[in-house]
Amino acid sequence: MSAPSGASVDVPVLVGAAQFSERLGEEAYEALSPVDLAARALGLALDDTGADAAVRSRIDVVACTRQFDESFPGMPAPLGRSDNFPRSVAGRVGLDPERVVYEVSGGQSPQSLVTELCAEIAAGVTTVGVIAGSEAISTVLDLARREDKPDLGETVEGSDGDRGAGLEGITTRYQAGHGLVDAPTQYALFEHARRSRLGLTRAELAEEMGALFAPFSAKAAQHPHAAVREARTAEEIVTVTEANRMIVDPYPKAVVSRDKVNQAAALVLTSERVAAELGIGREKWVYLRGHSDLRDRELMRRTDLSVATPAVTAVGAALEMAGIGLADVATYDLYSCFPVAVSIVADGLGLAHDDPRGLTVTGGLPFFGGPGNSYSLNAIAETVDLCRATPGSFGLVGANGGTLSKYSVGVYSTEPGGWETGHDDRLQAELDAVPDHPVAHEADGWATIETWTVQYVGGEPSRAVVVGLLDDGRRFLANDLEGGADGGELIDLLLGENAHGARVFVRSVPQGNRVAVSDERMAELLPTRPVGFRESYEHVLLDRRGHVLEITINRPHVRNALTPDASLEMEEVLDAYLADRDLWVAIITGAPGQDGRGAFCAGNDLLHTAAGGALWMPRTGFGGLTSRRGVDKPIIAALNGHAFGGGFELALACHLVVAEEQAQVALTEVKVGLVAAMGGLVRLPRVVPPHLANELILTGRRMGVAEAQRWGLVNRVVPTGSALAAARELADELMESSPTSVRISLQVMEEARAHADPVDALEAPSDALDKLLVSRDTSEGVTAFAFKQKPRWRNL
């Protein structure tokens, strides 16, 4: 909203803008680092104000877009990086600001920062602020291949203003587990959803993408800072060749954002009053006349994957604030990481794809270049120049982050206007009020395809990613069967013309959901695993002793840590144990190491994960037990050594615990940046007092088993080397009781956990006692007691 009449508001203005770039092999190439590139652009932006020295003396905040290699977990920095990027950039140009900002990731961040600094200037919080951003990915990759590669790492003192990566809502474990982590794959889903809504054939979609991006390519060819300065025809852009290989269906390389660039841009912002004081000419002043920042929910929960309602709403709000309509805009720059990022917004606005004004001022991310999170900073700098060149005109920049998740819009003009804060809170609340689309994480049964893509490796189809709808309306993610086990039938369907709405069959497996073209094909390719014991296993050893099953985790080389495959074997074994009427008790222990010292289980095999091993878990959880329901036979944990992380969680999921005196237990996940998500966060606070649970969970402290016994975490502590023998003795004691009574008792106790009030638990409907009344073991026990005989249990 506008400031009240008579209120003192410093109207913000942009007074400096610049871009800088370099390309490998050119005569002027200097192989600048990301910091040096951003500093070079910032120096030019300060010079652009025409009052460089005076402006420098008043700068109180330096804000920077986030470097790409710090935007996602595990991203490499082959030559190192600054540990304080904003202060590194500031130091290069002789600045020591009171405050710096290192913005969250996402292509929305340049425009979002402009809006934020304008608001601070209007409120008198900031006097002069600068924004800089860069990427030198092309240079870094080139230098990293050299023997004499430089070290670009640097340490800078002072606050870093780091706001974190800001990836919340961008991806989820569910999406990552189905290969939905990279931008091309996610945007391809939107592309096919839009194609299906419009009823386009593949040829028509390709023609549209080429026609949309050909003017972008032509614009980039004329731009001095563009990465690709050769205009390409519509046909060249979408024709798949060896050089223009397919990345994901339907995107060949030419329509995908180009990140291997060396580009930078910078802006200088202040108020009208300060600009006049500093002697900055009015011909330099450009106003942010309209703005809006809106967000969408995570991909799977969106109502319609073929539209971008928050982005379209944000554009409309920014135009309304500026007091203009689409027809009044002289220049547009709609974020263009992929074709759908442009077309889906233009569709919603009713803006023709071939609008004579063009939809980019730079040439767009595939042709001008996409310097990580910083692209729209170049677009804003370009828009500022165009506004100055045509005083009174308006330019619009639409900056997109994530997967059409974060959209930030700015409307610029030299035409003066007062500052407005806008109505984003109200608009966001209205968007958030729309119910989520229901999601099924584990999908089983017949379904229809909603949208899809196919990932390519080396130019060949590799993996299908399907978003489908179960017959109850829930949305799910799924892949084809690994290694093309279905003969490529599903991929053939997806690469044809009739994928949308096609009937398919989905099944959930430990690694995620899998799709086949029919239930018969699914049954053929993924036959239901028979319940029973195999002759041998890779990761466990079994020993059947009468009614007792001994399960030994046999991975002593990694202290019996479990991989996902090992947990899957444990699941199979426990399934068979629970189904076998002649097995009444199970004991889980760990194989001793070569030194004779044992470890019950050291948790997840992090070496396997660090080496790139798949990270998934059986539906029944770690060790096939921690997420298992309805365990109605006793399981004893025999701790013949330490139980750390998932190993302790596995022990907590057992009914009884016997531990050797030298053993220790601990939830060590926090020590390696993880959490005890396999039951430790839930089970431990239910056993020990809250403050003790907090200590163990939050510090990862190792607890000796004597202390663990005092808190009820361990039933018996025994001498070193005797855990298994002690567990066998405990199993013998259990077998003196009716196995039917034991099963019924476990069932009732599990059902009772759903009720806080004991009487509610007692009165809750259950068939447990009905089973007991008709049990042969019940009649056997009562009769044996009456005749003072030892009962002969039958487990019937």
Question: Which tens digits make up the pLDDT trace of 170-200?
Answer: 788 899 889 898 999 999 999 999 999 999 9
What's the pLDDT score for residue 593? Answer: 80
80-90: b or e for each residue (b if 16 or more CB lie within 10 Å)? ebbebbbbbbb
* SS3 per-residue string spanning 32-95: CCHHHHHHHHHHHHHHHCCCHHHHHCCEEEEEECCCHHHCCCCCCCCCCCECCHHHHHHHHCCC
Q: How does residue 780 score in pLDDT terms, banded at 50, 70 and 90?
A: low
Token pair, residue 48, equals 């652009």
State how far the Cα of 502 lies from the Cα of 469, in Å rounded to an integer: 10
DSSP per residue, 223-268: -TT-S--S---HHHHHS--STT-EEETTEEGGGS-----EEEEEEE
Token pair, residue 365, equals 């991310």
Residues catalogued as catalytic: 649, 669
What's the pLDDT score for residue 482? Answer: 73
Identify the CATH number of the domain defined by range 445-525.
2.40.50.840
Question: Which tens digits make up the pLDDT trace of 67-102?
Answer: 999 998 878 899 999 999 999 999 999 999 999 999
Which distant-in-sequence residues (6+ apart) come within 8 Å of 296 by Cβ? 302, 308, 309, 310, 311, 404, 405, 406, 407, 431
Nearest to 170 by CA among 250, 108, 253, 117: 108
Token pair, residue 212, equals 């949309």
Token pair, residue 545, equals 């002793």
Amino acid (1-letter code) at residue 664: Q
Q: How does residue 596 score in pLDDT terms, banded at 50, 70 and 90?
A: low
Nearest to 428 by CA among 448, 406, 450, 410: 406
Token pair, residue 449, equals 């395809």
Token pair, residue 731, equals 């199993």
State how far the Cα of 408 lies from the Cα of 310, in Å rounded to an integer: 10
Amino acid (1-letter code) at residue 762: L
DSSP 792: -
Q: How does residue 752 score in pLDDT terms, banded at 50, 70 and 90?
A: confident
pLDDT of residue 672 exceeding 70 = yes
Give the percent of the chain with pLDDT over 70.
95
Question: Which tens digits make up the pLDDT trace of 534-572?
Answer: 999 999 999 999 999 999 999 999 999 999 999 999 999
Contact predicate 216/360, CB 8 Å? yes
Token pair, residue 193, equals 């959803």
Q: Phi then psi for 741, rounded to 5 degrees?
A: -65, -40
**Would you put residue 74 in left (φ > 0), alpha (ψ -120 to 50) or beta?**
left
State how far the Cα of 326 lies from the Cα of 558, in Å rounded to an integer: 64
Contact predicate 332/358, CB 8 Å? yes
State how far the Cα of 615 lies from the Cα of 785, in Å rounded to an integer: 53
State how far the Cα of 679 lies from the Cα of 642, in Å rounded to an integer: 18
Q: Phi then psi for 343, rounded to 5 degrees?
A: -65, -35
Which distant-in-sequence residues (6+ apart) come within 8 Å of 105 by Cβ? 66, 70, 71, 72, 165, 166, 167, 373, 401
Q: Rounded to whole angstroms, what are the CA distances from 515 to 113, 510, 692? A: 43, 14, 46
Identify the CATH number of the domain defined by range 12-174+254-432.
3.40.47.10
Amino acid (1-letter code) at residue 490: L
State how far the Cα of 249 lies from the Cα of 256, in Å rounded to an integer: 12
Neighbour tally for 750: CB within 10 Å:
14
Q: Rounded to whole angstroms, what are the CA distances from 450 to 206, 471, 475? A: 20, 12, 8
pLDDT of residue 6 exceeding 50 = no
State how far the Cα of 406 lies from the Cα of 140, in Å rounded to an integer: 28
The dihedral built from the CA positions of residue 245, 247, 252 and 257, taken in this order, carries a sign that is: negative
What's the pLDDT score for residue 4? Answer: 39
What's the pLDDT score for residue 1? Answer: 33
State how far the Cα of 313 lies from the Cα of 348, in Å rounded to an integer: 9
The architecture (CATH level 2) of 540-734 comes to Alpha-Beta Complex (3.90)
Domain spans of the chain? 12-174+254-432, 445-525, 540-734, 739-786
What is the rounded average pLDDT for all residues in the chain?
A: 92
Neighbour tally for 571: CB within 10 Å:
23
614-653: b or e for each residue (b if 16 or more CB lie within 10 Å)? eeebbebbbbbbbbbeebbbbbbbbbbbbbbbbbbbbbbb
Q: How does residue 385 score in pLDDT terms, banded at 50, 70 and 90?
A: very high
State how far the Cα of 734 lies from the Cα of 740, in Å rounded to an integer: 11
- Give Cα 169 distance to the centre of its chain: 7
Contact predicate 108/401, CB 8 Å? yes
The dihedral built from the CA positions of residue 394, 395, 401 and 404, taken in this order, carries a sign that is: positive
Average pLDDT over residues 126-135: 98
Contact predicate 367/228, CB 8 Å? yes
> Dihedral of the CA atoms 529, 532, 537, 543 (nearest 10)?
170
Q: Rounded to whole angstroms, what are the CA distances from 187 to 43, 183, 369, 431, 679? A: 36, 6, 18, 21, 35
Neighbour tally for 418: CB within 10 Å:
12
Question: Which tens digits make up the pLDDT trace of 273-328?
Answer: 999 999 999 999 999 999 999 999 999 999 999 999 999 999 999 999 999 999 99
Of 137-146, 423-432, 680-689, 747-756, which gets the smallest average pLDDT?
Answer: 747-756
State how far the Cα of 187 lies from the Cα of 549, in Å rounded to an integer: 51
Question: Which tens digits make up the pLDDT trace of 684-742?
Answer: 999 999 999 999 999 999 999 999 999 999 999 999 999 999 999 999 998 888 777 78
Contact predicate 130/45, CB 8 Å? yes
Nearest to 408 by CA among 331, 295, 491: 295
